[in-house]
Amino acid sequence: MVEECRLGFIVDFLSHATIVGFMGGAATVVCLQQLKAILGLEHFTHEADLVSVMRSVFTQTHEVTTTSSTLSLLFFHFHISCLIFYPPTTLFTHTIISTPSIHLPP
């Protein structure tokens, strides 16, 4: 919707710290919600705050599945090992994906 209304320029008025803080908060919420899949829990909170998620995790420690946890840890280890032994090049880390602009004649 923002793209259709051409409101992307509003981001230029936000400070870098605001944008980084928002992205960090969003990443934290996503990581906390992934704990359900990593630990293989059936019943998990629908809240997004740290206290509710940690309470849900620690009250359901008896439901943690070893298969899901083991696969998650192995994949995490593989990912970190790849980043250490094959660091990303600047070609991929600084690539900006953008949509082509449409210029209408006057």
pLDDT in tens, 88-98: 765 555 445 55
Give the C-alpha separation, 65 to 22, whole Å: 33
Q: What is the pLDDT of residues 72-88, one digit of tens each?
A: 889 989 999 988 888 77
Helix (H) / strand (E) element for 56: namely helix 50-59
Residue 36 lies inside a defined structural domain of this protein: yes
What SS3 string covers 15-36? CHHHHHHHHHHHHHHHHHHHHH
> Which domain range does residue 44 map to?
8-91
pTM equals 0.57
Contact between 38 and 68 (Cβ < 8 Å):
yes
Residue 102 lies inside a defined structural domain of this protein: no
Tens digit of each residue's pLDDT, the chain (106 residues):
556 667 677 777 888 888 888 889 898 888 888 888 888 888 888 887 888 888 888 888 888 888 888 998 899 899 999 888 887 765 555 445 555 555 555 5
What's the domain count of the chain?
A: 1
Residue 104 lies inside a defined structural domain of this protein: no
Residue 13 lies inside a defined structural domain of this protein: yes
Residue 98 lies inside a defined structural domain of this protein: no
Residue 77 lies inside a defined structural domain of this protein: yes
Residue 40 lies inside a defined structural domain of this protein: yes
